[in-house]
Structure 1
């Protein structure tokens, strides 16, 4: 398995994405749900357009999965 050196801000954004997603899943308030959906959209753009992906164009798909797996594990702990 290849190990990637993800920038801290990218890892933080992906971890925050999972936290917001879990909050949204448990949210009853329509107003708060809207706020969380907007946060998810902003974080998605931040993650998808991060300059890190340009540095590893041939490895980006596998790196994206590795980032998601690592961030999910951090969010669960």
Structure 2
């Protein structure tokens, strides 16, 4: 498992949370804009200048974001 910078992991976690919110409330412009901003923040992060972004690295980063969201989800009542 790779070690990613904290701010990159945080951006991915926010991306995953925003994506889930957008799925629940499609058409929300502010959520689409936030998702776009977070995508750019992750894609152009300085970490990727030092390392070649492989599909496996992206997958690991996305998994970190998803797992954090799964742990933070509350059961629906």
| TM-score, normalised with respect to structure 1 | 0.84
Q: Measure the CA separation in 2 of the matches of 1:67 and 1:47.
A: 10
Q: Measure the CA separation in 2 of the matches of 1:53 and 1:62.
A: 13
Task: Confirm whether residue 63 of structure 1 aligns to residue 57 of structure 2.
Answer: yes
Structure 2 alignment gaps of length 5 or more? 72-77
| Contact preservation (8 Å) 1:53, 1:60 | no
* Residue of structure 1 in register with 2:74 after alignment: none
> Which stretches of structure 1, 4 residues or longer, exceed 6 Å deviation after superposition?
none
* Residue of structure 2 in register with 1:14 after alignment: 12
Question: How many residue pairs end up in the alignment?
Answer: 71
Structure 1 alignment gaps of length 5 or more? none
* Residue of structure 1 in register with 2:68 after alignment: 74
